[in-house]
Structure 1
Amino acid sequence: MSNDDGVLVHVDSVDKTFRRGTEEIRVLAGLNLTVQEGEFLALMGPSGSGKTTLLNLIGGLDRPTSGSVSVGGEAIDRMSGRRLARWRSQHVGLVFQFYNLLPVLSAERNVELPLLLTHLSKADRRKHVATALKVVGLEDRSRHFPRTLSGGEQQRVGIARAIVTDPTLLLCDEPTGDLDRKSGDEVLGLLQALNREHGKTIIMVTHDPHASARATRTVYLDKGQLSTTPIA
């Protein structure tokens, strides 16, 4: 899905401004970013620097105030709401800090949720779910409910849900932020395997240098701009 030059994500001169009452808050200021297909990019920066905002723009969950965002050569900022929702369901997998699993559903049913938006048969959905759970090493926990799983296992279910549609892009927002170091390392190892062995393009927001060290490239966001060097 990438362009001829291998660029999958192209963020061009993006501004993002939020309005709070009569005040305008400029979170991103003329920001530029390219991400190659197959890259594992870590996005670091202080709280409030706009990391999650940038992730949401790349995932089509929000639109820039100005500038453009393209993924695989498609200008997602110009898509209609309906087309963007369809595009997102096909191309974006999301991994959250707090897992966002439904407690009343088993692991396999949580993983199946994105597939309910597709035209796959029930049998095909089950095959996809089984494959995703096997990739994250939880095929033997498929019928367990979130309350019976450890934090690390819940996050792996979250990753299985994110990859079950075989998305073009995996967007992770502090995926180890609620985990102990051992569980966090297991999740980071899984993300590395998805990148190296399955060719997944991953963009990960993190505060943790230990986590960013697993990525193939790290960029730093501060005051609406990106840098390749850590912020002092």
Structure 2
Amino acid sequence: MTTLVSIRGVAKRYTRGKQTVDVLQALDLDIASGDFLALMGPSGSGKTTLLNLIGGLDKPSAGEIVVDGKRIDQLSSGQLAKWRARHVGFVFQFYNLLPVLSAEANVELPLLLTSLSKAQRKKNVAAALAVVGLADRATHKPSELSGGQQQRVAIARALVADPTLLVCDEPTGDLDRKTADEILTLLQQLNRNHGKTIVMVTHDAKAAEYATHRLDMDKGALVTSGDSH
């Protein structure tokens, strides 16, 4: 297996007034290409901070982060924004869809930053909606979709630019069990059938069972790891 994400000695600290809060401490982690990793841990354990560093939403205070051969911790904010647009698809607990836009227009948003033609964008959007099983809902607005369907639109938007990595922060946190299982099955299929590398933060042990690996975090450090299968 090729290593897609390599993290070495990564620390993250925040200063609040005179107080320094260490969120991550000298963390080492390798994520293989094609892996589906679940990060678990109590609130404040640092899992979302780690996810944000992997996705290039934040920069470490120390250490190095290499994704697909690129040292992302050395990029400027502008370079990082461009890198994210090309390489990372984000899925959050709340779907962050624009209510005035149709499903297809929401999915198309990341492509507006690319040099793709309108026809190619339309083709990619249709393909992404088909992958998440929503081809027949393309013209519906978020208010006309269920929570599970809105999250599928959000996943299609994360996929549309064919990112190197899918980063999911509590993707089923707002859904009932049945709908959550459907979304997790979809993520599992994206991982198994489409070879997508996925890193998911979750509080839910049942959600973690869909991943190929699980890592537990506590107080900014990795404590255990295990295979779900």
Identity in percent: 64
Three-state SS of the structure 1 residue aligned to 2:194 is: coil
Aligned equivalent of 1:227: 223
Q: Report 1:63-212 matches (<5 A).
A: 63-212=59-208
Q: Per-residue deviation at 1:229?
A: 5.3
SS at match of 1:64: coil
Match of 2:34? 38
Runs of at least 5 residues in structure 2 that lack an aligned partner in the other structure: none
Match of 1:26 in 2: 22
**3-state DSSP of counterpart to 1:144:** coil
Query: Normalising by structure 1, what TM-score?
Result: 0.96
Alignment of structure 1 residues 211-222 onto 2, 5 Å? 211-222=207-218
- Contact persistence 2:213–2:225 (CA under 8 A): no
Query: Once the 2 structures are TM-superposed, how far is the Cα of residue 211 of structure 1 from its aligned partner?
Result: 0.3
RMSD of the alignment, in Å?
Answer: 1.0
CA distance in 2, matches of 1:61, 1:218: 22
C-alpha separation in 1, matches of 2:21 and 2:142: 38
Cross-structure match for 1:11: 7
SS at 1:179's partner residue? coil
User: 1:170 & 1:23 partners in 2: Cα distance?
Assistant: 34
Query: What is the SS of the residue equivalent to 1:210?
Result: helix
Q: Residue deviations 1:4-49, cap 9 Å, x none?
A: x610001111110011121111000001111000000000000111
What is the TM-score with the length of structure 2 in the denominator?
0.97
The DSSP-based 3-state class of the residue aligned with 2:162 is coil
